[in-house]
Amino acid sequence: MAVFVYIVECADQTLYTGWTTDIERRLKAHNTGRGARYTRQRGPVRLVYLEEAPDRPAAQKREMEIKRLSRAGKFKLIECSISAKRG
């Protein structure tokens, strides 16, 4: 089963990091007010970073690593991901 770590940007330009096994379902939950408490009043959200993890414990560990990053560090991670996709 695929497990993902993700970052969404909220309407107020804050960032939220989480993990899921179904990114589409999770984004829909965030955007309909059924997601995390943090995003309920900050929607809509948009996906800005997605990383696949080998299993749930690895995803949870990576989520905590990302949450410990500064805001600038998170934006650097997002930017590196975008640059890598461009080739």
**Contact by Cβ (8 Å): 42, 14:** yes
List, for residues 15-27, the tens digit of each pLDDT value. Answer: 999 999 999 999 9
**Contact by Cβ (8 Å): 29, 48:** no
Average pLDDT of every residue of the chain: 94
Task: Map out the domains of the chain as residue ranges.
Answer: 3-86
What's the CATH number of domain 3-86, 2.40.10.170, 3.50.50.60, 3.40.50.620, 3.40.1440.10?
3.40.1440.10
DSSP state of 28: H
List, for residues 13-67, the tens digit of each pLDDT value. Answer: 999 999 999 999 999 999 999 989 999 999 999 999 999 999 999 999 999 999 9
* Number of residues that this document lists for the chain: 87
Q: Which residue has the tokens 């560090």?
A: 73
